Each structure stands twice: as C-alpha cells, then as structure tokens.
Structure 1
Amino acid sequence: MLKTRDQSTNDAGQSAPPREHHAGPLPKRVLLAFVVVAVAGGAYFFFNKPLQPPTNSLHVSGRIEGYETNIGPKIGGRVDYVAKREGELVKRGELLVKLSDDDVQAQLRGAEARVLSSQEKASEAHYQLSVVDNQIAEAQVRVEQSKEDTTAQVDQAEANVATTEAKVAEAEALLSQARSELEMATLRNERYASLVQDKAVTLDEADQARTGKDNAIALVSSRKANLEAARKQLRVAKAGLEMARTSRLNPQMRNAQLAVLKQQRIQAQFKEKSAEHEVKNAKSEAEQIKANIAYLNVNSPIDGVVTARSVEPGAVVVPGQNLLSLIDLDRVYLRGFVPEGDIGKVRIGQAASVYLDSQPKTPLEGEVIQIDPEGSFTPENIYFKEDRVKQVFGIKILLKHPERFAKPGMPADAEISLVK
C-alpha cells in the first residue's frame, strides 16, 4: 500500500508538466471567440442600422469675386490727374483720369486757322463762278442781238467796268484793312514772345498771339487773291468795253466769246469743288481734334469700386493701356469648388443662401449661374497633399441683392438648395 501511494505520488509528480502544457491554448480560444463575436456584432449593426435621410442642401465655401472692368484711354498722352485710388467708390460717368491737352489745343488752333483759310478760298471760287455765269448769260444775249446797234452794248460794257472798278476798290480796302490787322498781330506776337520769357504772360496767351498772327497772314493772302481776281475782272470788263466800241457785233465773234466763257466756267467749277473739298477736309480735321480733346477725359462706364490703380500723374500712356480696374458691387458672385462626387447634384439656376463672415446670421439670396465644364484639382490654397489631389469643379453663385455688403476677396459660405 505504501508503494502504491508512492507510485501515485510519483505519477502525480510526473504528470504535472503535461497539465501545464494543456493550460497554454486557452487564451487563443478565448481571443478567437471574441473576434467571432465582434465580427458577428459588426455585421449585425451594419446590416440593421437605420438609413440616413438624404440631405436637401449642399455646403460650399469660397470667396466673393466680381466682373472686372479695365479702364483705358482712346488716345495716348501724359497723365495730369487720377481721381481715385484702390477701394474708393465711383459713379457712372465720373471723371477718373485726365490727360494733358497742351499739344492737342495747339493742333486745334492750327486746324481752325486752316478752316478759315479754306473757307475764304471757297468763297472766292464761288464768286468767280458766279461772275463767269453772268458773263455767259450776257454773251448768250449778245449772240441773239448781234445785229443790233452797238450803243446798248457799249453802255452795258461801261456798266460792267464801273461795277468791277467798285469791286476792285472794295478789295483794295479790305486788303488794306487786313494788312493793318497783320501789323497789329505781328506787334502783339513779338510783344508776347518777349513777355513770355519774363513769365509776364502765359504760354497759352503767347500761343494765341502767334495763332492770331498766322490767321492775319492767311487773311492778307486771301485778300490779295481777291484783289487780283477783281483786277482781272476789271481788265476783262475794259477789254469788253473796248471791243464794244471798236468792233461790229457779229454772230461768229459772239459765239467764239461764248465758247471761251464756257471754258472759263469749267475751270471755275473745278476750282470751286477743290475749295469745297479743302473746307470739308479742314473741318473734319478740326472735328477729329475736338473729339481727341474729349477723349482726354477718361470717365467711368459703371458704378463700382476701384480694385487696381496702374498709373500716377506724369506717366505717359498709350491708347488702350490699363489705367484703373473697377468691379460693379451690384454684380458679385461667390466662387467656390464642389467635390467631384457632389457636382452631379448641382444645376444652373438652383437657389442658394450665401453667408458672409461679417453677417453670418443674415443670408444673401443667390443663384447658381455657372458650373465649370471641366474638373480640376483642389485649389492651390489647400496646403495638405492628401487634399490637393482631390478633383473638384468650380461654380459661381450670383448674389441677387448684394446691397454692396459683399466685396471682392471676402470669404463666404453657401448652402445650395437641392430641392427640385
């Protein structure tokens, strides 16, 4: 019995290690059981969770932008004055930039002098044509009366001589008057040229004196031409008188005279048309210069705010150069980006509520007016790489009544209504 107990004791002692060996796998079985329970529970909750109701709006963040209007001159010149700076409001038609008009005013004075001179020439040509017409009419009458006594013809010729002599006297008087005016204009020009060196008069006054002299010279030239024309007519009239006194009238002689007069009429008509064309060109030049003077004032085409000022007084600009940039605060929009997965929900014309950071509780009414036709990656102002690789679509939401609260550059949020 003792041996048996010892054996039992030994057997028990020998069987202890195997008991420790069977105790090791128990934690793994427990862990496996937990995993099975967790997976089963997760599957249960996944397949039995309640469905989320679809949202009725889409959130978009972005910033306020506007349609920019660039302001430039129609002609080049030196900038005298810039009325506004960045951030200032402007009214439609308000003067924004003024260019110097010194050179253009001098051009205008010269053009007006050419208009006056060409009008004088046109008047002279018209007068000469009327004289020839009268002579032709008289010649035609003389052809019909070629068989009559020469007494009446002599009287008429004498009357013509008297008339032309009076015209010569008048032309001489007008020329004398023009020469007197030229002398006065010359003295005035010389005096103002001296005074301007001492700054006693302005450059504009000196320019006006010089222009007055130029006009007086042109007038003297025109009056000389008128006098020469009158003297020529007087010589013709005297020749006619001499012919009437010394020659018998006959149809052949009168017809020859009539032919000569008709040829003179053709020449007079050509001179008249040339003079009228010269007047037209001179007036067109003056009108163009006046238009250029008006273009020196650059006015605002819209009500808005200045976003950029590119020039300062003293700068020389060219036609079309950008001087100022404006944005109409009544036509601003929110520029935002929608993820690719949500862009299919957005439609042109959908209503939206826009919230400004300055007035987060007062939404502004908006409407989707543009969706980019092509996607792009998240805008460059995102700094995390995992966000920059997401494709998005840009949209524009027009603010219907911004009331000038929304200004370009302001951050804003929008809720786009997806309700059909």
Structure 2
Amino acid sequence: MTPRSRVGLAALIILVGASGLLFLAPVRQFLFGPPTGPQQIVVSGNIEAHQSVLSFTQVQAPIVYLPFDEGKYVQADTVLARVDDRFYRRQLEIDRANLAVASKQVAVDTSNLAAAQNTVVSDRFDLAEKKRDFARDKAQIKSGAVSRQAYDLAFTAAAQASAALARDQALVRVARDNISLARANLAAAEAKMKLDEVTLSYTTLRAPFSGVLAIREAELGELAGPGVAIFTLDDLDHVWLRAYVNETNLGQVRLGEPVAVTTDTYPGKIYHGRIGFISSQAEFTPKTVQTHAERVTLVYRIRIDIDNPTHELLPGMPADATIALLPPGK
C-alpha cells in the first residue's frame, strides 16, 4: 500500500468514528436524559464542641473537695471542687461585725440629732424670755424703776441666750452631717460584706453547663488560684462539624438544610445534622491540602450542627457530611 493510500484509509476511519459518535450522542441522551452534574457533595472535617477550662477565680487556697474523675457527665451547677474557705468565712464574720457597728453608729447619731433639736427648741423659749425681760427693764430704766445694773444683766442674759441658740443650731447641723457620714459608712460596710460574700462563693467551683469532664488537671491538696486549671468541660449536647464548601457549590447549599453525617468510628451509622452557619467571606483551602491546585481554590466555611443525644460524637473525631445540592438559584 502506497503512502497516499494509507493517509486516505486513516482519514476514512476518523470520519466513520466521528459519525458514530454523532449518532451515539442523541441515542444516549434519549435513553438516559441530559447529562447532569453531581447531586450531592461530601465534605470532611472534625467534630467540635464548646470546651470550657474551669478554674477558681479571686481566691487562692488548697483544694479540699474534688469528687469527680475524667469522663464523668455532670449537670449544670454541679459542685466540681472546693477550696479551704476558712479565711474567707472569717473575713465575712468581720464584715458582719463592722456592719453592726456602723448600724449602731447611725442610731446613736440619730439620737444625738434629736437631742440637739430639742435643745434648740429650749434655747428659743429661753431667748424669748430673756428678750422680754430686757425689753421690760429698758422701758423702766428711764423712770428709775430698775437699776442700771439690772438693765445690764438683762441685756447680757439676752445676748447669752442668743449665742446659746446659735451654738445649738450649729450642733444640729453637725449632728445631721454625722448621720450622713454614719449612713455612708453603713453603706460601705454593706457593700464590703456583699463583696466578701461573692468572694466566698468563688471557693466553690460549679459546672457552668451540662457536659463531660474531659480533663482533670488537679488533685486534692494542691494550691488552687486564678488561672490554675482544674477541669476541662465539654458540652457534648451541642456538637458541630467544621467543613468547607467550594465556591462553585456555594449557591446550592442553604442554611437549615438537613445533612447526613457519618464517622469511621461507627461505620454505617448516620447522624442527623443541619447547616447552621455559612461564612460570608471566602478563604483559601486549608493548608493541610497538599496539592497547589487545591490550595489556591477558594472555599467557604460552614458549620453543621449535629444531634448527639448519646454523646457518641467527641471533639476531634473525624467525620464526613453528605450535603444534597439544590438546583442553582433555588
């Protein structure tokens, strides 16, 4: 076969193959419908939960009560630990004594004010009498009915009565100021006692929410203080999966959409979840992805809230989530 014949035969084969493809495409579309993209995507991530590192605040003392070990499920407000509170109780006793003294001082100053006010009333009557005596002697001195000495004594007595009234009126003002000061001291004593009551309450460590004690970091007799971790508490009633959705699929997922979650730990078991959050900002694919092509792809972070009534899902556990893609624009 000549070279020209071989070229012609190759061209004929290509033409026949192309005709066959053109013929098969309508047949395939008739039998199976138009080609479609993926109807769901699978995203992967790790289970996360609210974790709280618990420690004593505002107090420093040895631990005297520590009943629970790691792995124990506790209800909210359960007492997890106590420290030696004798110092703080004694301080509270001192506060109560100071409060009683301040209260008595208010009562004493109130009595002093009443006494000073009664003295002023007496002074006014005395001054009125002395003024009448002086006026009478002044009218009679011209006729010689009273002596000059009696006149001078009446004048002096009236002046002394006026001065006594002014002095006792000033004492009334002082008594009122003393009451204001005593009441301020009483309020300060009450505030100090309430503050120390709060401080005493800090000697007891309680669970802020129901959860599982994931880590116990202290022992009986250890010195506890601010920032010294005692327990790490996990809220296993509310767990979620952090995952990422490609930018091309973002328009096909919705908040509240149901999601099926599976784990390698419990193969074949499906956990029910829902999309609880979709980030409004794009990110690069997490750096754990090794290929450059995937690393530069923009993704959006989502959070899938998962029902976990049996507390099987634990923080850090890898999981996969199957998300049904909605038609674009719906």
Q: TM-score, normalised by structure 1?
A: 0.58
Q: Could you say which residue in structure 1 is the equivalent of 2:261?
A: 354
1:332 correspondence with 2:316: no
- After superposition, the Cα gap between the structure-2 partners of 1:109 and 1:378, relative to the gap in structure 1 and judged at 3 Å, is closer
- After superposition, the Cα gap between the structure-2 partners of 1:34 and 1:322, relative to the gap in structure 1 and judged at 3 Å, is farther
Q: Could you say which residue in structure 2 is the equivalent of 1:110?
A: 94
1:64 correspondence with 2:47: yes
Partners of 2:72 and 2:11 in 1: CA distance: 69
- 2:180 pairs, out of 244, 254, 273, with 273
Partners of 2:278 and 2:285 in 1: CA distance: 15
Aligned residues: 296
Q: Alpha-carbon deviation of 1:366?
A: 1.7
- After superposition, the Cα gap between the structure-2 partners of 1:30 and 1:65, relative to the gap in structure 1 and judged at 3 Å, is farther
Q: Alpha-carbon deviation of 1:386?
A: 7.1
SS in 2 for 1:110: helix
- 1:124 pairs, out of 99, 108, 127, with 108
- 1:296 pairs, out of 172, 184, 203, with 203
SS in 2 for 1:336: strand
Per-residue displacement from partner, 1:365-416 (whole Å, max 9, x unpaired)? Answer: 2211233422333552x6x657874635442211256553433233322221
1:406 correspondence with 2:313: yes
- 2:76 pairs, out of 84, 88, 92, with 92
Partners of 2:47 and 2:7 in 1: CA distance: 57
Q: Compare 47-56 and 58-67 and name the one that shifted more.
A: 47-56
- After superposition, the Cα gap between the structure-2 partners of 1:374 and 1:88, relative to the gap in structure 1 and judged at 3 Å, is farther
Partners of 1:32 and 1:96 in 2: CA distance: 90
Partners of 1:342 and 1:32 in 2: CA distance: 48
- 1:364 pairs, out of 262, 271, 289, with 271
Unaligned runs of 5+ in 2: 29-33, 134-152
- 2:161 pairs, out of 241, 244, 254, with 254
Per-residue displacement from partner, 1:106-138 (whole Å, max 9, x unpaired)? Answer: 322332332233334333322222222222222
- After superposition, the Cα gap between the structure-2 partners of 1:330 and 1:387, relative to the gap in structure 1 and judged at 3 Å, is farther
1:140 correspondence with 2:124: yes
SS in 1 for 2:71: coil
Equivalent position amino acid for 1:287 in 2 = K
Partners of 2:309 and 2:23 in 1: CA distance: 48
Give me the identity figure in percent: 22
Which structure's residues are more often strand, by fraction?
A: 2
Contact 2:261 2:322 in 1 (8 A): yes
Q: TM-score, normalised by structure 2?
A: 0.72
Q: Could you say which residue in structure 1 is the equivalent of 2:191?
A: 284
Contact 2:237 2:311 in 1 (8 A): yes
Per-residue displacement from partner, 1:119-168 (whole Å, max 9, x unpaired)? Answer: 3433332222222222222222333444899xxxxxxxxxxxxxxxxxxx
Partners of 1:43 and 1:312 in 2: CA distance: 82
Unaligned runs of 5+ in 1: 1-21, 150-246
Question: Where in structure 2 are the equivalents of 1:296-315 lying within 5 Å?
Answer: 296-313=203-220, 314-315=222-223
- After superposition, the Cα gap between the structure-2 partners of 1:42 and 1:98, relative to the gap in structure 1 and judged at 3 Å, is farther
Which structure's residues are more often helix, by fraction?
A: 1
- After superposition, the Cα gap between the structure-2 partners of 1:308 and 1:340, relative to the gap in structure 1 and judged at 3 Å, is farther
